[in-house]
C-alpha cells in the first residue's frame, strides 16, 4: 500500500457558534442531547432544526416546554456577497421566537446578522458567524454560557422596535424579516403616547 504525500487543502468552512443559556441549566440536564464544544459539519442545502423532537430535528433540547420543532436555521447566498449567510425561521405555532428583539410569528423568517441574540421560552441563544470559503457546507458548534448573553448585548428586557412607515428599521437591535410585505404601521397606543409627549 502506498501512502500519498499529496497534501489536500481544505476550504475553511463558515461556522455558526451557538451558545445557549437557560436560568435552570445548572439543575436540569437540558443540553444532554446536544453535542457541546464539538464542531459538526452540515450540508448548506439542509436546514438546521432545533426543538425537543430528536427524530424531526437536527439538534434536540431535553425540555418538554420546548416545541417539537422550535426553529430552523437555513444557509443561503446572494449574488452580491461571497459569504454564506443565514436566516432563522420560527417553526413553533405556540412558542414565541425573537431575533435581537424582533418577534417572529409562525413560519416567519429573519436574516441573521454576524452576531444575533435569539430567544424562545426561557432560552437565550447567542449566535456568532465566522465566515469561511466553503460553498456547500458549514459547521455548527454548541456551547453553554454561565450568564445570559442579553447582558453582553445590552438587551436585558425583550422589546419591539417600532417600524415606521418606510417598512425598514435602521437600529442595530432589530432584524428585518425576509420578504416584508410593505410598510407596517405603528401601534395606536404608541401613537397616542407620542402625541401626549408633543
Q: What is the CATH number of the domain that holds 97?
A: 2.60.200.20
Pairwise CA distance, residues 147 & 8, whole Å: 41
- Of the candidates 168, 55, 175, the residue with the CA atom closest to the CA atom of residue 103: 175
Alpha helices, H only, the chain: 149-153, 188-197
The string of DSSP codes covering 94-126 is SS-EEETTEEE-TT-EEEE-SEEEEEETTEEEE
Please check whether residue 126 lies inside any domain of the structure. Answer: yes
Please check whether residue 21 lies inside any domain of the structure. Answer: yes
Please check whether residue 190 lies inside any domain of the structure. Answer: no
Please check whether residue 36 lies inside any domain of the structure. Answer: yes
From the number of C-beta atoms within 10 Å of its C-beta (0-12, 13-18, 19+), residue 94 rates as: exposed
Check: CB of residue 56 under 8 Å from CB of residue 68.
yes
What pLDDT, on the 0 to 100 scale, is given for residue 64?
95
Q: Output the average pLDDT for the chain.
A: 81
C-alpha cell at 58: 437536527
| Segments forming the whole domain that contains residue 34 | 15-152
What pLDDT, on the 0 to 100 scale, is given for residue 156?
61
The 10s digit of each residue's pLDDT in 87-102 is 999 999 999 999 999 9
C-alpha cell at 150: 442579553
What pLDDT, on the 0 to 100 scale, is given for residue 129?
97
Please check whether residue 176 lies inside any domain of the structure. Answer: no
Please check whether residue 108 lies inside any domain of the structure. Answer: yes
pLDDT band, very low/low/confident/very high, at 191 (cuts 50, 70, 90):
very low
Instruction: Report the phi/psi class of residue 167: left, alpha or beta, with left for phi > 0 and alpha for psi in -120 to 50.
Output: left
The 10s digit of each residue's pLDDT in 141-155 is 999 999 999 987 776
Say whether pLDDT at 128 is over 50. Answer: yes
pLDDT band, very low/low/confident/very high, at 7 (cuts 50, 70, 90):
very low
pLDDT band, very low/low/confident/very high, at 119 (cuts 50, 70, 90):
very high
Give the count of beta carbons closer than 10 Å to the beta carbon of residue 159: 13
Say whether 4 sits in a helix, a strand or coil: coil
Please check whether residue 26 lies inside any domain of the structure. Answer: yes
Say whether pLDDT at 6 is over 60. Answer: no
Higher pLDDT, 169 or 101: 101
Min mean pLDDT across 29-33, 78-82, 116-120 is at: 78-82
Pairwise CA distance, residues 108 & 181, whole Å: 12
- In degrees and rounded to multiples of 5, residue 134 shows phi and psi of -60, 140
Check: CB of residue 42 under 8 Å from CB of residue 134.
no
Say whether pLDDT at 63 is over 60. Answer: yes
Min mean pLDDT across 8-22, 30-44, 124-138 is at: 8-22
Higher pLDDT, 7 or 40: 40
Torsion of CA 63, 66, 69, 71, to 10 degrees: -120
Please check whether residue 197 lies inside any domain of the structure. Answer: no
Amino acid at each position: 500500500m502506498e501512502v500519498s504525500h499529496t497534501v489536500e487543502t481544505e476550504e475553511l468552512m463558515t461556522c455558526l457558534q451557538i451558545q445557549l443559556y437557560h436560568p435552570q441549566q445548572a439543575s436540569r440536564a437540558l443540553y444532554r442531547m446536544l453535542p457541546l464544544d464539538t464542531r459538526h459539519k452540515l450540508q448548506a442545502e439542509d436546514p438546521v432544526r432545533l426543538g425537543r423532537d430528536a427524530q424531526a430535528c437536527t439538534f434536540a433540547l431535553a425540555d418538554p416546554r420546548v416545541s417539537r420543532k422550535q426553529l430552523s436555521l437555513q444557509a443561503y447566498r446572494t449574488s452580491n456577497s461571497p459569504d454564506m449567510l443565514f436566516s432563522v425561521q420560527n417553526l413553533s405555532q405556540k412558542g414565541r421566537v425573537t431575533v435581537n428583539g424582533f418577534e417572529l410569528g409562525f413560519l416567519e423568517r429573519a436574516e441573521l446578522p454576524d452576531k444575533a441574540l435569539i430567544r424562545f421560552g426561557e432560552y437565550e441563544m447567542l449566535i456568532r458567524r465566522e465566515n469561511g470559503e466553503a460553498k456547500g457546507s458549514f459547521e455548527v458548534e454548541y456551547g453553554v454560557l454561565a450568564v445570559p448573553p442579553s447582558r453582553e448585548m445590552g438587551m436585558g428586557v425583550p422589546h419591539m422596535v417600532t417600524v415606521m412607515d418606510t417598512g425598514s428599521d435602521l437600529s442595530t437591535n432589530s432584524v428585518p424579516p425576509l420578504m416584508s410585505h410593505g410598510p407596517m404601521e405603528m401601534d395606536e397606543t404608541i401613537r397616542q403616547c407620542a402625541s401626549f409627549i408633543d
